[in-house]
C-alpha cells in the first residue's frame, strides 16, 4: 500500500436514536500515522462515532472503510481497530497483566509471545512495576495507562481513544498529555482521539475535526482551527464560552456605526475602512484573551476601543487575567500586572485590529 493512500475512510455516516439524529453525514479520511482529534462538547456524538468505527454500534447509513475494505458488516474483532473507552472499562477482577494480555488471549497467542508483548508495552508506558496488581487497586493515572496498554497490545491498524485524559487531576492530565504526544510520535500509529477539551485537541492533533450536534463543522490543522475558526460558535467553544465579542452595525451607506456596548467607543480610521469594505451591515468582532487590552486608559488603540467596568481578575502566578464588562459583554485580557483600578471602576477595553476576528452578524461565519 502506498504512503498516500488512506488507512481509514469514513463516508457519510448517519445514526438516529429514538428519532434524534446523533450523527449526520460524517465523512473524513486519515493517512497512516496521523492523529485526528475529534473535538466537541459532551453529547455531540463523539463516542457514538468511535463505537461505530469499532463495530460496537451499527450505523444507519454510510460506510466505514479500513485499508480499502468496507467493514460495515464485520464484528469488532475483525476490523483491526482497538478502542480505549472513556470509562476505561478495565476488567477490575483481573490483574494488570491479565488486562493487557486479554486481546492476545482472545487471539490464542502462545504464552511466550504474550509475556514478551506485555513486557514490551508495559515498559513503554512505565507500568512494569504494577503488572501484578489488581486493576481496581490503581490510581487514576495508572488506570489510564493500563487501558492504553491494553489497546496497544492488540496489533491494530487504528487506535481509537475516547476522552483518554478525562477524569484525571489537572496536573496529571498535563503531564500525561505531553507523554502521550511523545508516545504517539514514537509509535507512529494511526490514532483517532475524541475529546471535549480544546487544549487536548490543539496540543495533540495533527488534524482537528470539530463535531457539534452530530455534524462536522470544521476540519483542519490546530493552528487553522484556532486562528481561522469557520464560525463564531467554534471560537466561543475554544475559549470556554468567554470570547471577547462586540457587535457592530454599519448602515448600508457605511456612514454611521453603532455597537451593542453603548455610545462610548472609538474606532481607528484604518480599521473603520476595513470594516466598511466588508460590505455587511452587521459584524461581530471577536478576540481571544491574549489579543485584548484592558487598562485604566488605553492611549492609542489601533482597533476598537470601548468603555467598561472592571469586575474581577484571576491571578495565575505568571500572569493576570483581567475581566471587564459592558452590559452583557464580558472582556478578558491577559496581563503581566493588575491595572490600577478597584472593582466596579471604569476601564478601557481595546481590541487591536491585528488580533480581531470578524464574523458575519447574520450567519456567524468568519469574514476575516
Partner 1 sequence: MRKPFSKEFFNKGRMLNPWLMILPAFLILLVFNIFPLLWSLGISFYRFSVIIREAPRYVGGLNYINVITSAEAWDRIIRTGIYLAYALSLQFGLGLLLSLLLFEDFKGKRMLITLFTIPLMIAPVASSLFFRYLFDENLGPVNNFLKSIAGYGPLWFSSNMSPLGIPYALLTVVLVETWIWTPFVMFLLTAGMSSIPQDLIEQSRVDSIKFRHKFRYVILPYIKPMIALALIFRFMDSLKTFDSIYILTAGGPGATTELISVYIYRVAFERWDFGSATALSYLILVIVIFMTNVFMRYILGGERS
Partner 2 sequence: MRKRNQYTTPLVLYRVRKSLKFALLIALLAIYLIPIYGMFSLAFKPRAEIYSGLFELTRVTLENFEEAYRYGAYSAITNSIIVTVGGVAIALVLAVLASYAFSRFAVKGKNILMFYILSTRMMPPITLIIPIFIMFFNVGLKGTYLGLILVYAMMSLPLSIWMIKSFIDDIPKDIDQAALVDGHSTMFILFKIIIPMVIPGIAASAAFAAIMLWNEFLFALLLSGVDTKPTSVLLSSIRGERGFNWGRVAAIEVVYILPIIILVFWLQKYMLRGLTFGTVRR
Partner 3 sequence: MVSIKLVDISKTFGSVEALKDVSLEIRDGELFAILGPSGCGKTTLLRIVAGLEKPTKGRVYFDDIDVTNIPAEIRDVSMVFQFYALYPTTVFNNIALPLKSKGYSRIDIEKRVKEIAELVGIGKALNLHIDKLNIADKQKVALARAMAKEPQVYLFDEPLTILDPVTRVIMRSELKKLQHRLKQTMIYVTHDQIEALTLADRIAVMNFGVVEQVGTSWDVYNLPNTTFVGWFLGEPGMNFVEIAVDKDDLSINIGSKKIFRDPSLGKKLLDLGLEKALLGFRAENVVLVKEVPGVHDPNSIVIDGIIRVIEFFGTHYVVNVETEGSEFKVKLSVSEFNKLMLGENDKVKALVRVDKVCFFNLDNNRRVL
Minimum CB distance to partner 1, residue 75 (Å): 6
Site for partner 3 (CB under 8 A): which residue of 21, 133, 181, 236?
181
Q: Which three cell numbers stand for residue 301?
A: 488603540
Which residues, 6+ apart, have CB-to-CB distance to 133 below 8 Å?
Answer: 95, 96
Cβ 17 to partner 1 shortest distance, Å: 16
Q: How many residues bind partner 3 (CB under 8 A)?
A: 37
Among 70, 89, 106, 175, binds partner 1 (CB under 8 A): 106
Q: Name, in order, each residue with C-beta under 8 angstroms of 278's C-beta and a sequence gap of 6 or more.
A: 358, 367, 368
At its nearest, how many Å lie between partner 3 and the CB of residue 188? 14
Q: Which of 91, 113, 227, 270 binds partner 2 (CB under 8 A)?
A: 91
Among partner 1, partner 2, partner 3, none, partner that 242 touches (CB below 5 to 8 angstroms by kind): partner 3
Q: Is 83 in the site for partner 2 (CB under 8 A)?
A: yes
Which x/- pattern, by CB under 8 A, does the window 123-152 give for partner 2?
A: ---------------------------x--
Encode 192-213 in three state secondary structure.
Answer: EEEECCHHHHHHHCCEEEEEEC
Backbone torsion region of residue 169, taken as left when φ is above 0, otherwise alpha when ψ lies between -120 and 50, otherwise beta: beta
Residue 60 is a binding residue for partner 2 (CB under 8 A): no
Q: How far is the CB of 54 from partner 2 (least distance, A)?
A: 6
202 binds, among partner 2, partner 3, partner 1, none (CB under 5 to 8 A by kind): partner 3
Q: Does 95 bind partner 2 (CB under 8 A)?
A: no
Angle at 192 between CA 188 and CA 195, to 5 degrees: 125
Strands in the chain per DSSP E = 6-17, 20-31, 35-39, 61-66, 69-70, 81-84, 158-162, 190-195, 207-212, 215-220, 244-250, 257-259, 265-267, 282-287, 293-295, 303-315, 320-326, 329-335, 346-352, 357-360
User: Rounded to the nearest 5°, which phi and psi values hold at 101?
Assistant: -80, -15
Q: Check binding of 316 to partner 3 (CB under 8 A).
A: yes
Q: Are 51 and 207 in contact (CB under 8 A)?
A: no
Binding of partner 2 by 106 (CB under 8 A): yes
Pairing state between β 35-39 and 190-195: parallel
Cβ atoms of 212 and 41 closer than 8 Å: yes
Count Cα atoms within 13 angstroms, Cβ side, for 318: 0
Q: Which does 174 bind (CB under 5 to 8 A by kind): partner 3, partner 1, partner 2, none?
A: partner 3
Which entry of partner 2, partner 1, partner 3, none binds 103, CB below 5 to 8 A by partner kind?
partner 2
218 to 247, contacts with partner 3 by CB under 8 A? Answer: 222-223, 226, 238, 240-242
Rounded distance between C-alpha atoms, residue 96 and residue 84, angstroms: 15
| Residue 125 interacting partner from partner 2, partner 1, partner 3, none (CB closer than 5 to 8 Å by kind) | none
Residues that bind partner 3 (CB under 8 A): 169-171, 174, 177-178, 181-182, 185, 198-199, 202-204, 222-223, 226, 238, 240-242, 288-290, 311-319, 323, 330, 334, 343
**Which residues are near partner 2 by CB under 8 A?**
51, 54-56, 75-77, 81-83, 85-94, 102-103, 106-107, 150, 154
Amino acid at each position: 500500500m502506498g504512503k498516500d493512500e488512506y488507512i481509514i475512510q469514513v463516508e457519510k455516516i448517519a445514526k438516529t436514536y429514538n428519532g434524534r439524529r446523533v450523527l449526520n453525514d460524517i465523512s473524513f479520511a486519515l493517512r497512516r500515522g496521523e492523529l485526528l482529534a475529534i473535538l466537541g462538547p459532551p453529547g455531540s456524538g463523539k463516542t457514538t462515532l468511535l463505537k461505530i468505527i469499532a463495530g460496537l454500534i451499527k450505523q444507519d447509513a454510510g460506510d466505514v472503510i479500513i485499508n480499502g475494505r468496507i467493514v460495515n458488516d464485520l464484528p469488532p474483532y475483525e476490523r483491526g481497530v482497538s478502542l480505549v473507552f472513556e470509562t476505561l472499562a478495565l476488567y477490575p477482577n483481573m490483574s494488570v497483566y491479565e488486562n493487557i494480555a486479554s486481546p492476545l488471549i482472545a487471539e490464542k497467542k502462545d504464552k511466550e509471545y504474550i509475556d514478551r508483548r506485555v513486557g514490551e508495552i508495559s515498559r513503554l508506558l512505565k507500568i512494569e512495576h504494577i503488572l501484578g496488581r489488581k486493576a481496581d487497586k490503581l490510581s487514576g493515572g495508572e488506570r489510564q495507562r493500563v487501558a492504553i496498554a491494553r489497546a496497544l497490545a492488540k496489533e491494530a491498524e487504528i487506535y481509537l481513544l475516547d476522552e483518554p485524559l478525562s477524569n484525571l487531576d489537572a496536573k496529571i492530565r498535563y503531564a500525561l498529555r505531553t507523554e502521550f504526544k511523545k508516545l504517539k510520535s514514537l509509535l507512529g500509529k494511526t490514532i483517532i482521539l475524541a475529546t471535549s477539551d480544546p487544549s487536548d485537541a490543539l496540543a495533540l492533533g495533527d488534524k482537528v475535526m470539530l463535531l457539534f450536534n452530530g455534524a462536522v463543522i470544521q476540519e483542519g490543522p490546530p493552528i487553522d482551527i484556532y486562528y481561522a475558526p469557520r464560525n463564531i460558535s467554534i471560537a466561543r467553544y475554544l475559549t470556554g464560552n468567554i470570547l471577547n465579542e462586540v457587535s457592530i452595525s454599519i448602515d448600508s451607506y457605511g456612514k454611521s456605526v453603532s455597537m451593542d456596548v453603548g455610545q462610548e467607543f472609538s474606532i481607528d480610521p484604518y480599521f473603520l475602512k476595513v470594516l466598511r469594505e466588508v460590505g455587511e451591515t452587521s459584524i461581530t468582532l471577536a478576540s481571544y484573551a491574549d489579543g485584548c487590552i484592558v487598562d485604566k486608559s488605553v492611549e492609542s488603540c489601533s482597533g476598537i476601543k470601548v468603555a467598561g467596568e472592571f469586575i474581577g481578575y484571576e491571578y495565575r502566578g505568571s500572569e493576570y487575567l483581567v475581566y471587564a464588562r459592558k452590559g452583557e459583554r464580558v472582556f478578558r485580557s491577559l496581563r503581566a500586572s493588575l491595572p490600577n483600578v478597584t472593582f466596579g471602576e471604569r476601564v478601557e477595553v481595546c481590541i487591536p485590529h491585528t488580533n480581531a476576528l470578524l464574523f458575519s452578524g447574520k450567519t456567524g461565519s468568519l469574514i476575516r
